[in-house]
Amino acid sequence: MSNPSLLILPGDGIGPEVMAEVRKIIDWFADRRGLVFDVSEDLVGGCSYDKHGTPLTDEVMAKAQSVDAVLLGAVGGPAYDDLDFSVKPERGLLRLRKEMDLFANLRPAQCFDALADFSSLKRDIVAGLDIMIVRELTSGSYFGEPRGIFEENGERVGINTQRYTESEIDRVARAAFDLARKRDKRVCSMEKANVMESGILWREVVQAVHDADYPDIELTHMYADNGGMQLVRNPKQFDVIVTDNLFGDLLSDVAAMLTGSLGMLPSASLGAPMENGRPKALYEPVHGSAPDIAGQGKANPIACVLSFAMALRYSFDKGDEAARLEGAVEQVLADGVRSADLMQAEGGKPASTSEMGDAIIAALENNL
């Protein structure tokens, strides 16, 4: 049997730096755990635009469709701000999500004990936090038609369309319920059914899926604005949150800050199972390209490392190896190793990106 395949797309900004640390960890798993991947690397985002005039070539798109999993760093940067919308770096990422049909975006927000004081909220509100946001990723206002900037009555009008079909809501609801079954068996669905028809349909379909197939899960509904408020008031009330593309984008950034730093949060974007039974999958840190610190060795690689852990769990059925890697990250944090984003004002010299990676590998070695 051939090795499972991984396509690595480091992208722009801090993407290449954090991905370099993940490559060290991939090598460690090959050497020390016999977990060998066929790894290839390619371009996405601004670096692809620079070389090919497009943020994602058809060749790379085809590669992404053919591998077992894609690992992406980050896309975008100020150098591309003035580009036409159609070739902006972000379009490369959105094309991957859309064409691979990665409808379920899993964004866990876990507060490591060693970091509970780094959150902008009080320790007791966030300590022990473990929630999972499931964001719909291939529809809604990100992709709905009509869209564009048009002339109307002598002025311009900008249009995007919030649009959801029943089947799109159905499949992401199932993804959320399935995850909840392996967790605390609670799902909170968020929309704006008080003002949006798409929200009314969302609520109805999620409830119907629940009633038909997931009666063992506790389902609640919440308006998304209240959801944002509840996330900062009492985040531990939640287990799994399921929501649409745009609300999920906002709410997952809110949830990120509960954990102390955006540099900590991984994500998995999953689609339907492929022929080999593995889901179509792309893993990426939630943080962006952070152009202000790019190229300086300051970036925290943990979000990207934990994204690889999610790949081990969700694509390769290696939950034990994922836990091994997550445990090493936890150990490093407990030992007080801190990248710049995790330093309190008084702190000493921060660990560089590669020192963080090395510390994680040392922790893996120590726990073999």
Query: Where does this chain bind ligand IPM (CB under 6 A)?
Result: 90, 93, 249, 288
Told to judge if 170 belongs to the known catalytic residues of this protein, a careful annotator would answer: no
Question: Which of these ranges, 91-99, 191-199, 215-223, 249-257, lies near Mg ion under the rule CB under 5 A?
Answer: 249-257
**305 near 264, Cβ under 8 Å?**
no
Tokens of residue 241, six digits: 């949150």
Tokens of residue 230, six digits: 């509840």
93 binds, among Mg ion, ligand IPM, none (CB under 5 to 8 A by kind): ligand IPM
Told to judge if 192 belongs to the known catalytic residues of this protein, a careful annotator would answer: yes
Shortest reach from residue 93's CB to ligand IPM, in Å: 6
Number of alpha carbons in the 13 Å side-chain half-sphere of residue 318:
18
> Of 222 and 251, which has the nearer Cβ to Mg ion?
251
Told to judge if 185 belongs to the known catalytic residues of this protein, a careful annotator would answer: no
**271 near 281, Cβ under 8 Å?**
yes
Question: Which of these ranges, 71-79, 159-167, 246-254, 267-275, lies near Mg ion under the rule CB under 5 A?
Answer: 246-254
Check residue 339 and report its DSSP letter: B
Shortest reach from residue 142's CB to ligand IPM, in Å: 7
**Among residues 27, 184, 249, 358, which one is catalytic?**
249
42 binds, among Mg ion, ligand IPM, none (CB under 5 to 8 A by kind): none
Q: Does 218 bind Mg ion (CB under 5 A)?
A: no
Binding residue for Mg ion (CB under 5 A) from 27, 170, 249, 358? Answer: 249
Question: To 10 degrees, the CA torsion angle through 229, 236, 198, 213?
Answer: -160
Told to judge if 253 belongs to the known catalytic residues of this protein, a careful annotator would answer: yes
**Among residues 42, 50, 130, 225, which one is catalytic?**
225
Strand ranges (E), the chain? 5-11, 38-41, 69-74, 104-110, 130-136, 144-152, 155-161, 186-191, 218-223, 240-243, 266-273, 279-285
Cα-based distances in Å from 222 to 105, 188, 202: 19, 7, 12
Catalytic positions are: 142, 192, 225, 249, 253
What residue ranges bind Mg ion (CB under 5 A)?
Answer: 249
